[in-house]
């Protein structure tokens, strides 16, 4: 079967959605999204990509020339129609992708869409995903499990990471001759960033390798003058994945990329990052979640606190201790400053956190499982979320 998937979100979102695509083993998969997915193209030669420039996205913005964007969109639609897809999935809950579903010719269409100018495609599962998942800090399902349920797709299994066994990194050895710990310090959202001074201390304790994109090379060398640095494209990271003992990263596209290619991961979830929504989908992965009273916070905008409380609750010596335990196959010790989550099971289409160490647990033992679903802690995803009412209001303008 020939399938088209619309994925007009960010690169990190696509890497999470890739778990669903990998489960479509008997199908010919095509992906259409913004051109920021370009780094993913060489990573997945088994899929075909049809990309549209994000800078042309705002066709109704009077400050931008609209003709070029409309022309490129028309070319995209024509090229997709020539493929004669049997099924089209909308993995993106935006007006743009919903309207695009209406413009495309093909077989069965699944997901939020317009049909002949009217909102269509809404199911109870899609409505719950769109109206409740976005709004709650403690969702019933993780992002990918909820998306799978909403689109009637099988929930993909957890990825198995490579074994951690091997010779520990040695000071002075060349990065390609050892298996260092990779440290990815930068994210696209300042609220998710751990303090650079803490990353420097952790790098020195672990004798780690600071990794980042080639465009980040200058800023990394400026802030990490005493650390080994590797400016790598995602394709280069994939080729060198066997050289990485463990990746320590914020909630970034690199973290979810590493999961797909078997690199063991330790995620530092700060600010709006919520492991109950987007934890690494990897068996044995660990997440440190230094919950402040204000976390998880909004995705858009800047931190509204005078200090970055969640980042201050996480010390380099604590992260080092957890990383050392993971590397040597031991269970990290609980602490009162943060929640430690180990991903182990994929049960009833929901990632379960079977080792959640929380301060004040009964008898000094680790609390187990996740709290019941609770609505609260609204998250602002901007145009990523669409209610039925907003669909109807936008119909004429689109």
- 3-state SS, 242-255, equals HHCCEEEEECCHHH
Any domain includes 357: yes
Q: State the Cα–Cα distance between residues 357 and 209, nearest whole angstrom.
A: 28
Chain mean pLDDT for the chain? 80
Question: In terms of domains, do 198 and 307 share one?
Answer: yes
Per-residue pLDDT tens digits for 219-275 = 999 999 999 999 999 999 999 998 999 999 999 999 999 999 999 999 999 888 889
Q: What pLDDT does residue 380 have?
A: 33
Question: In terms of domains, do 177 and 241 share one?
Answer: yes
Contact indicator for 95, 103 with CB cutoff of 8 Å: no
Q: How far is CA 158 from CA 42, 151, 245, in A?
A: 23, 19, 19
Percent of the chain with pLDDT over 90: 51
Provide the number of structural domains found in the chain. Answer: 2
Question: In terms of domains, do 190 and 235 share one?
Answer: yes
125-133: long-range pairs with CB below 8 Å, 24+: 125/149, 125/150, 125/152, 126/150, 126/151, 127/388, 129/93, 130/93, 130/385, 130/386, 130/387, 131/387, 132/375, 133/277
Any domain includes 241: yes
Query: Model confidence at 288, in pLDDT bands (50, 70, 90)?
Result: very high
| Residue 342, strand partner residues | 286
Any domain includes 379: no
Q: How far is CA 83 from CA 37, 48, 70, 308, in A?
A: 20, 11, 21, 49
Any domain includes 138: no
Q: Please check the confidence at residue 383 and state whether its pLDDT lies above 50.
A: no
Token duo for residue 47: 């899929």
Name which of 71-75, 124-128, 145-149, 151-155 the model is least confident about: 124-128
- Region 303-329: what's the mean pLDDT? 85
Q: Please check the confidence at residue 382 and state whether its pLDDT lies above 70.
A: no
Question: In terms of domains, do 174 and 285 share one?
Answer: yes
Any domain includes 178: yes
Question: In terms of domains, do 75 and 182 share one?
Answer: no
Question: In terms of domains, do 11 and 67 share one?
Answer: yes
3-state secondary structure of 111: coil
Question: In terms of domains, do 75 and 191 share one?
Answer: no
Domain boundary among 65, 100, 123: 123
Q: Residue 239: which residues within 8 A CB-CB, separation 6 or more?
A: none
Question: In terms of domains, do 94 and 195 share one?
Answer: no
- Region 315-333: what's the mean pLDDT? 90
What's the angle, vertex CA 36, arms to CA 30 and CA 40, rounded to 5? 55
Any domain includes 142: no
Question: In terms of domains, do 205 and 108 share one?
Answer: no
Domain boundary among 123, 139, 173: 123
Q: State the Cα–Cα distance between residues 248 and 30, nearest whole angstrom.
A: 31
Question: In terms of domains, do 68 and 197 share one?
Answer: no
The domain containing residue 264 runs over which residues?
159-364
Any domain includes 92: yes
Question: In terms of domains, do 167 and 230 share one?
Answer: yes
Query: Model confidence at 178, in pLDDT bands (50, 70, 90)?
Result: low
Q: Residue 221: which residues within 8 A CB-CB, separation 6 or more?
A: 229
Any domain includes 373: no
Question: In terms of domains, do 217 and 173 share one?
Answer: yes
3-state secondary structure of 193: coil
Provide the whole-model pTM. Answer: 0.83
Q: What pLDDT does residue 118 have?
A: 85
Which CATH number covers residue 45?
A: 3.40.50.2000
């Amino acid at each position: 079967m020939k399938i088209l998937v619309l994925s007009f979100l960010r690169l990190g979102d696509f890497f999470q959605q890739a778990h669903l695509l990998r489960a479509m083993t008997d199908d010919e998969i095509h992906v259409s999204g913004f051109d920021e997915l370009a780094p993913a193209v060489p990573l997945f030669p088994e899929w075909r990509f049809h990309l549209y420039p994000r800078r042309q996205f705002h066709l109704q913005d009077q400050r931008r020339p609209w003709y070029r964007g409309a022309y490129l969109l028309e070319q995209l639609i024509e090229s997709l129609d020539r493929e004669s897809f049997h099924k089209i999935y909308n993995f993106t809950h935006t007006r743009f992708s919903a309207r695009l579903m209406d413009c495309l010719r093909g077989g069965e269409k699944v997901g939020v869409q317009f049909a002949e100018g009217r909102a269509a495609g809404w199911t109870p599962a899609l409505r719950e995903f769109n109206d409740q998942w976005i709004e709650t800090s403690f969702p019933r399902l993780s992002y990918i499990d909820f998306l799978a349920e909403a689109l009637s797709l099988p929930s993909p299994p957890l990825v198995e990471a490579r074994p951690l066994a091997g010779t520990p990194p040695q000071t002075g050895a060349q990065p390609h001759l050892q298996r260092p710990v990779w440290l990815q310090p930068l994210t696209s959202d300042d609220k998710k960033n751990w303090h650079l001074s803490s990353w420097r201390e952790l790098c020195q304790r672990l004798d780690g390798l600071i990794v980042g994109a080639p465009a980040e090379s200058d800023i990394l060398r400026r802030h990490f003058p005493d650390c080994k640095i590797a400016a790598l494209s995602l394709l280069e990271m994939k080729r060198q994945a066997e050289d990485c003992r463990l990746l320590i990263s914020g909630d970034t596209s690199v973290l979810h990329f590493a999961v797909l290619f078997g690199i063991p991961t330790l995620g530092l979830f700060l600010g709006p990052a919520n492991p109950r929504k987007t934890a690494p989908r990897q068996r044995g992965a660990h997440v440190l979640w230094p919950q402040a009273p204000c976390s998880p916070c909004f995705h858009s905008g800047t931190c509204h606190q005078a200090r970055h409380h969640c980042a201050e609750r996480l010390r380099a010596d604590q992260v080092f201790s957890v990383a050392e335990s993971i590397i040597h196959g031991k269970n990290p010790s609980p602490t009162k400053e943060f929640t430690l989550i180990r991903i182990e099971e994929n049960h009833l289409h929901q990632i379960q956190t079977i080792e959640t160490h929380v301060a004040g647990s009964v008898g000094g033992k680790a609390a187990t499982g996740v709290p019941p679903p609770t609505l609260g802690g609204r998250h602002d995803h901007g145009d990523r979320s669409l209610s039925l009412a907003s669909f109807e209001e936008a119909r004429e303008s689109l």
